[in-house]
């Protein structure tokens, strides 16, 4: 029989262009709040490093480096890689080991340092996650993949770009209130809607950031949770899904099939429905991705996700608050750290520790994390439950 597993603590570095820190220092910065909460190295049984792309720094054997940097070099450690969904894949891996009884206490630490290369080089590295025979050689980058989705969605549902700009405005509204965000600045609708094109119909404010940063969470088995906290966040449901490698092979570009499969599995395991969720952290690598996520997760019917942003139902006082930390768009997207950062945000919101009352969600019992790798080839959805 599997054991219940809770998230008991978390830590988070400042996201941004962190030329002031090495990968080692980012790991230490994320672990420090965990250490300060009393979860010292001797209390951790093993670690998982969420580290998506070693080509940015050239650093191989990342889990050994991470373990060294925070004083866990004698504990078992491993690295997980699942593109942009590496953070939640790492949490899934740790969950399985703790639930099975292999370990009682595990640290999951996500890190990426993407700004040690130029933006052009970073874009090329990420483009290589597309099909190397039929996509990458023809110049398709990830802005292009999501531009194809946006173009199809806009044509099929008569969606104006204005709606995507509303999502960008929301992201920056909350990112401006998050001291850990990469780009903490408000953006007007006019600025967002009229920004320089990146890959039409997507412009500068439709695209997430190339970010450095780290985040950490600690998972503990139920019999020992009370040793660590009286405010545990239980893993209630978990689902994983996959989609075709080449998007030309998919039946639709207005949805991500793997996300729908992952959400269905997570809801089933949790015994919940979309209407039960009090907040969501969704993978808004591009503004269209957030809009599609509203529908893939069941918060809106196909083609009607626009109503959630138009009516401000996804703001912190709305029916289903989404990305009230700024999301990937404003908080930033350090690949391996992203899914861990999302989980950290749900824990912070449940404990009412959002940095500003103007982004604090009133009452979170169930929080959902939606983490997408590539253009949907890897997707994880995790539902968390407040345990107090």
Q: Catalytic site residue 370?
A: no
Q: In terms of DSSP H, where are the helices of 216-353?
A: 257-270, 287-296, 306-310, 327-330, 335-350
Catalytic residue among 84, 199, 285, 324: 84
Sign of CA dihedral 296, 300, 304, 307: negative
Closest by Cα among 296, 308, 302, 330 to 163? 308
Angle between helices 287-296 and 161-175 (to 10 degrees): 100
Q: Catalytic site residue 333?
A: yes
Q: How, if at all, do strands 378-386 and 366-373 pair?
A: antiparallel
Burial of 379 (0-12, 13-18, 19+ CB in 10 A): buried
Q: List, as one string, the DSSP characters of 4-30.
A: PEEEEEEEEPPPB--TT--HHHHHHHH
DSSP-derived letter for residue 382 is E
Beta bridge partners of 373: 378
| Residues with active-site annotation | 84, 333
């Amino acid at each position: 029989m599997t054991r219940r597993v809770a998230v008991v603590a978390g830590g988070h570095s400042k996201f941004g262009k962190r030329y002031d820190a090495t990968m080692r220092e980012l790991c230490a910065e994320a672990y420090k709040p965990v250490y300060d909460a009393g979860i010292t190295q001797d209390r951790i049984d093993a670690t998982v490093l969420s580290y998506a792309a070693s080509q940015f720094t050239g650093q191989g054997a990342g889990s050994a480096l991470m373990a060294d940097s925070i004083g866990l070099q004698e504990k078992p450690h491993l690295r997980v890689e699942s593109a942009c969904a590496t953070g939640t894949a790492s949490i899934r891996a740790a969950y399985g080991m703790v639930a099975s009884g292999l370990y009682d206490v595990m640290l999951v630490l996500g890190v990426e340092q993407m700004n040690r290369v130029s933006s052009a080089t970073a874009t090329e590295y990420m483009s290589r996650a597309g099909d190397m025979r039929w996509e990458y050689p023809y110049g398709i980058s990830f802005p292009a993949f999501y531009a194809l989705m946006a173009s199809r969605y806009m044509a099929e549902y008569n969606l104006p770009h204005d709606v995507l700009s509303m999502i960008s405005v929301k992201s920056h509204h909350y990112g401006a209130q998050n001291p850990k965000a990469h780009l903490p600045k408000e953006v007007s609708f006019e600025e967002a809607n009229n920004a320089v094109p990146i890959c039409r119909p997507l412009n500068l404010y439709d695209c997430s950031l190339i970010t450095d940063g780290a985040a950490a969470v600690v998972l503990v088995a139920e019999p020992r949770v009370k040793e660590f906290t009286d405010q545990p966040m239980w893993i209630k449901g978990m689902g994983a899904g996959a989609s075709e490698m080449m998007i030309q092979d998919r039946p639709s570009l207005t949805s991500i099939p793997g996300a729908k499969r992952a959400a269905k599995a997570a809801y089933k395991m949790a015994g919940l429905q979309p209407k039960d969720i009090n907040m969501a952290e969704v993978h808004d690598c591009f503004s269209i991705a957030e809009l599609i996520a509203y529908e893939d997760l069941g918060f809106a019917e196909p083609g009607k996700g626009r109503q959630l942003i138009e009516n401000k139902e996804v703001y912190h006082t709305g029916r289903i608050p989404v990305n009230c930390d700024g999301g990937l768009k404003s908080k930033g997207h350090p690949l391996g750290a992203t899914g861990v950062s999302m989980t950290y945000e749900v824990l912070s919101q449940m404990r009412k520790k959002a940095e500003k009352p103007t982004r604090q969600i009133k009452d979170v019992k169930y929080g959902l994390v939606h983490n997408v790798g590539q253009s949907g080839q890897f997707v994880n959805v995790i539902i968390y439950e407040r345990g107090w």
